[in-house]
Structure 1
Amino acid sequence: MLKMGPQYMSGNPGRAWAFETHSWLLFHYLANTHPAETEAFLGRLQARMDPVAAFAQSYPGMSEQRIGEGVHAYLNGGKYLQRFFSVAEPEVKIAVRHLSSAETHALRARLLASKMMPGWLRPARKEVALALAADPGEPEALAVDFEITERPLADHIERARNAVRLHPYDARAALLLAERLPSGGERHLAIERALELSQEDPDALRLGAFDSLAGGRFPEGLDRARRAQRLAATDPRALDVLAAALAANGRCAEASQVEQRALEVLPDGTPETTVRQLQERAREMAGGSLCVRPVVEEAGGPETTKHPR
């Protein structure tokens, strides 16, 4: 397999693109020249087997030299297999709902804030202002405003509290507040309220998982983290909290792999500080310093737990 580490996300962007291209070439080569072995490999990965061990068991005798020669021959004259399947038309239900003026302007602001067109900032701020003039607690408009306009954290918190007062049954308002509050009772209540209102919201589950881990409720934290990751499988934040929950529950090898995966799926333009934080966590998890490990006493006593430093 192609080896990589946290350094994959730093340095020359061209190297990262080359790595991705090479990895896809390797996968296509294996899938089309060794289909049965590749199916077995994917099955072992789904069963959460260590990737290196899964590769060795699935492709016995597949040396680095053999891979290089095979990929070179495949690239220059190989064939690939296409499979076509008939899929029934999905049954969908379309819900039609009238949007208020505030919601309409908030959605327009969100679209503009995606930065897909030049000169987006001024019209985005205008849409935010129109939305908040109609509804000072419109959650989406506030979320966009917090992203594109620098304000003191205290201002964020007070405006999010107002959103909760104006929209007590909107999980987005509770989340907006929970994301900005410091640790403590008010934050815990805001997170639980968001989960109560939207049990399948990945962001609510992610914050709930961190809250559970901070409170020492490790199994609950792992359950919430797993649910968040199932709903947002390639979200690096969901993967990051799952890695933390696995580490807190003593599943060190899995935690290291998941944290590494969080690094791999970071989107382009991620702030360098965020990249460095995840790189550091990945290194610490690989070294075991962030992991709770079960330890059995030498005298045969009860199992104890070693907590992270």
Structure 2
Amino acid sequence: MPQHSPDSLADTIAPRILRGERRALARAITLIESGRADHRAQAVALLDRLKDAGRSALRVGLSGTPGVGKSTFIESFGMMLTAQGKRVAVLAVDPSSARSGGSILGDKTRMERLSRDPNAFIRPSPSQTQLGGVARRTREAVMLCEAAGFDLVLIETVGVGQSETVVAEMSDLFLLLMAPAGGDELQGVKRGIMEIADMIVVNKADGALKSTATRTCADYAGALRLLRKRPQDPDEFPKAIMVSAVEEMGLQAAWDDMQLLAEWRRASGHWATRRAAQAQYWFEEEVRQGLLARLTTDPVARARLAELGAQVAKGKALPGVAADEMLNWLAR
């Protein structure tokens, strides 16, 4: 990427993003994902330029274990909405290798029809070992998609057992996609992810699995009724529903439920309150990440960390005591 001053690049790309140009949007997301200091300055300037665009999309987080059919569901769901004139952006986070940092980034391959739709935008990003399976800059990518005029932004998380609560801090609705399974399957679902889910979507409710899906959906509906009532939910939410992404069954009903919940939260004030809380959360997260970055980029801090780490490894200092010393050193 050629060198630009932060303002000049923002002046060039921002109008193109506001016009909904997908090529400019893709370039901007590449910019915000970069770890280079000069790219970061350009990204901050660009986001600042776009923050007053006054555009907002419905942000939907989607999680589920591998093989549950997330990509198939997203493609069928997205194609249904684009046929209705909606613009749909998909930010799909692929697992990164903890050893090499590499990622397959195969979502465009799995969603071939949707990737060719002019009203859709699919951006696979590596999770970069981030907790929750959400790339660190995904929230900023959501903001870019909103500025580009998309009506719905789907955030697909890795779903490999990490804490998926991170996606709830950047979405308006959170969907948990499940597959039909036996009665013991409910025991394997963590209570924490059940508590943040707004809808549990049982996929693959077709063919020989339809009756199993019906029982599974009833089991989850029963489990949701046992959870404590949340103030951000109207009656009947959170809820469990059945869909078949392959047969495109239940997708419109799922969309109707999402809109119903979103409109109720807007009218009741929970929408604005939640978005304000999310903004504060990400401010604090940026501070935390900045402090961690200092430990790895500042040579003096890195040397002090290595020195104290060596003392802990040799048994000359307790981990907690050494950590306190490191924090006190940083605070000086």
Q: Give the TM bin, normalised by the shorter chain.
A: under 0.3
Between the two structures, name the one with larger relative contact order (CA 8 Å, sep ≥ 6).
2
TM-score (norm 1): 0.24
| Bigger Rg, which one | 1
Which structure: greater strand fraction?
2
TM-score (norm 2): 0.23
